[in-house]
Structure 1
Amino acid sequence: MIIFSFDQSVSKRITRFDSNFAMSRVIQTTKPAHVGCMYLEENGVIGWHQAVTPQLLLILQGEGLVKGADEVYAKVSAGDAVFWEKGEWHETKTEAGLTAIVMESEELDPGLFMSVRTD
C-alpha cells in the first residue's frame, strides 16, 4: 500500500485560456479504467478483500483508516490517495464517514503525477 497526496498544496496553478484554478494531476491510462464514487456513512467499511486490479482510492471528504497487506492501519483524510497493487489484500473503514473516488485499471501508475505522502 502506498499513500500519495493530491491536496491543493501539491497542485499547480492553471492560467492558460484565461483560466484561474489549481489542479492536482492524478492518473493517466491508455487501457480501460473503471471510476466510481463511494459513500461510506458513519461506521462504514469496505471489507478485507484482494484487489482484482490495481486500485487507487482518492479521499475527497471525511477521514478513515486503510490497511494493506502489512495489516497496519494508516489514517487518511481528504487529499490522500491510497494505491493497492493487483492481488493486494486491503480494507478501508471510517467512524465519522468518508467519500472517495475509486479508480481501477490494469494500468495505474499514480507515481507518475503524485508524490508519496510524508507524515
Structure 2
Amino acid sequence: MEIYSFTQSNGKRIKQFQSDFIMSRILHTEKPVHIASMYLEENGIIGFHQAVTAQLLLIVHGCGLVRGELEKFWNVQAGDAVFWKKGEWHETKSLNGLTAIVIEGEELDPSAYMTRSFCCYE
C-alpha cells in the first residue's frame, strides 16, 4: 500500500487560455479504467478483500482509516490517494463518513504524477 497526495500544494498553476487555476495531476493510462464514486456513511466500511486489479482511492471529502494486509490502520483525509496493487488485501473504514473516487485498471502508476505522502509498505 502506498499513500500519495493530490492536494492543492502539490499542483501546478495553469494560466493558458486566460485561465487561472491549480491542477494536481493524478495519472495517465493507455488501457481502460473504471472510475466510480464511493460514499461511506458514518461507521461505513469497505470490507477486507483482495484487489481484483490495481486500485487508486482518492479521498475527496472527510477522513477515514485504511490498511493493507497487516492490521495496522493509517489515517487518510481529503487530498490523500491510497494505492493498492493487484492482489493486495485491503480495507477502508470511516467513523464520520468520507467520499472517495476509485480508479481501477491494469496499468495504474500514481508515482508518475503524484508525490508520495508517506510510505507504509507491509
In the superposition, the TM-score normalised over structure 1's length comes to 0.97
* 1:6 and 2:6 correspond: yes
2: CA distance, partners of 1:16 / 1:109: 27
- What is aligned with 1:105? 105
| 1:65, distance to aligned residue in structure 2 (A) | 0.1
- What is aligned with 2:64? 64
For residue 14 of structure 2, what is the amino acid of its counterpart? Answer: I
Match of 1:17, SS state, is: helix
CA contact (8 A) 2:2 2:118 kept: no
| 1:118, distance to aligned residue in structure 2 (A) | 3.8
| 1:70, distance to aligned residue in structure 2 (A) | 2.9
Match of 1:64, SS state, is: strand
Greater fraction of residues in strand: 2
| 1:71, distance to aligned residue in structure 2 (A) | 2.8
Map 1:26-105 onto structure 2 (within 5 A). Answer: 26-105=26-105
Identity, % of aligned pairs? 61
CA RMSD of aligned residues (A): 1.0
| 1:69, distance to aligned residue in structure 2 (A) | 1.9
1: CA distance, partners of 2:27 / 2:105: 11
Match of 1:117, SS state, is: strand
Match of 2:17, SS state, is: helix
For residue 45 of structure 2, what is the amino acid of its counterpart? Answer: V
Show structure 2 runs of 5+ residues with no match.
Answer: none
1: CA distance, partners of 2:2 / 2:69: 11
Number of corresponding residues: 119
| 1:10, distance to aligned residue in structure 2 (A) | 0.6
In the superposition, the TM-score normalised over structure 2's length comes to 0.95
2: CA distance, partners of 1:51 / 1:5: 21
> Structure 1 residue runs of 4+, over 6 Å off?
none
